[in-house]
Amino acid sequence: MELMVSTKNSPDWRDDSPAQEITDLKGMGEEEIIEFCLEAGEPAYRGRQIFSWIYAKGETDLDRMSDLPRAFREELARRARVGWLEPEKVEKGADGTEKFLWRLGDGNLVESVRVPMPLPDGKTRWSLCISTQVGCAMGCAFCLTAKMGFVRQLSAGEIVEQFLAARRLLPEGERYHNVVFMGMGEPLDNLEASVAAVRLLTHPKGVGMSPRRLTLSTVGIAPKLLEFVREVPGVGVAVSLHAADDVTRGKIVPPNRKWPLNEILTTCRNLPLSERQRITFEYVLLSGVNDSPEDARKLAGLLRGIRCKVNLLPWNPFPDVSFERPADSRVGEFRRILTQSGLDAFVRQSKGLDIRAACGQLADDDKIADRAGRRS
């Protein structure tokens, strides 16, 4: 029998032809699953039950959705599936950070990172960093993912699957406190799927996360940033600046040639944020490139009047690039200038360096090798 997998269109339940379309319910919203059930002649509340099973309970076996009639479950098994990910590889660093390598249905690989934060009471607060693309088209000079080039977009289902699969691997009784769209890829370059994934993660009858527990990181695609904030209000925004002038930024962040600093910061000033929200500005410090006291003073001037905080990230190294990580004293001086200018500035401690799970280190080595071979 020929099987075709779709994640968008529901099948015609009355079609008994040999070729049946198998619909993947993962990634579908509540209304889409309701429509799917209505086409099967089932009431709308069956769709709400399935939605809850998939996202709230993390169930992938249709037959275990016990409040559905058996006849309907049997028909579902013929017409639908719930896709899931199993880790191809799990690496654990000395600091407890874990990197998950997921193989997608077409064989492509993406990575997610789970970061523990021990609390004074002995408990652990967990954060998860997830990917939105296979590879990335932005080409940032200091980022290993950029060396893969852009391969393809992830669907909303594939983005959310990373969370659901990583949730199954948590210690019993634990949950993710924060989820950041900060893995492989530029989320705003995959805006539709990123918005859909946020809605699935925050749906009160599904995963049920507060929007405040989600953060999207972007190099600053200005028009799409405004659209994202309007579509899913309350979600945190982290804008990757990495330089305080357009000449420097254009050399290390190629999208700056299309969306220069002034356009990005004007957009940030006009974002419809709540009174409690602050924009996070990310700044990777590269020795001798963007880490001088003058750079710090220029950055402070650029951000004046914006409700924000600054995360300073000493560059996380990888082979075959000419950048260097700045000395701790240089990082401290940069931060001191920012704080003396009235900014809340923090030095973010890199997690998972020994397993190449820190910011800017996620990549599929085979894709990098293939791309390098094509260029040679």
Of 136, 143, 268, 359, catalytic: 359
In the annotation, is 324 catalytic?
Answer: no
Residue 313 and residue 270 in contact, taking contact as beta carbons nearer than 8 Å: no
Residue 175 and residue 126 in contact, taking contact as beta carbons nearer than 8 Å: yes
In sign, the C-alpha dihedral spanning 343, 327, 138, 113 is: negative
In the annotation, is 129 catalytic?
Answer: no
Q: What is the 3-state secondary structure (H, E, C) of 344-364?
A: EEEECCCCCHHHCCCCCCCCC
Distance between CA 115 and CA 184 in Å, rounded?
16
Geometric angle at alpha carbon 152, from 20 and 195, rounded to 5°: 85
Of 30, 42, 111, 161, catalytic: 111
Q: Residue 122 has which token pair?
A: 């002995």
Q: Residue 18 has which token pair?
A: 């040999």
Buried/exposed code over 199-213 (b: 16+ C-beta within 10 A; e: otherwise): bbbbbeebbebebeb
In sign, the C-alpha dihedral spanning 249, 253, 255, 261 is: negative
Q: Residue 259 has which token pair?
A: 């969306």
Q: Residue 159 has which token pair?
A: 């983005």
The residue ranges of DSSP E strands in 104-159, in sequence order, are: 109-118, 124-130, 133-135, 150-153
In sign, the C-alpha dihedral spanning 183, 184, 187, 188 is: positive
Distance between CA 70 and CA 141 in Å, rounded?
55
Distance between CA 240 and CA 281 in Å, rounded?
6
Distance between CA 94 and CA 308 in Å, rounded?
32
Residue count of the chain, please give it. 376
Residue with tokens 């249709």: 62
Distance between CA 206 and CA 220 in Å, rounded?
30
Residues that are catalytic? 111, 359
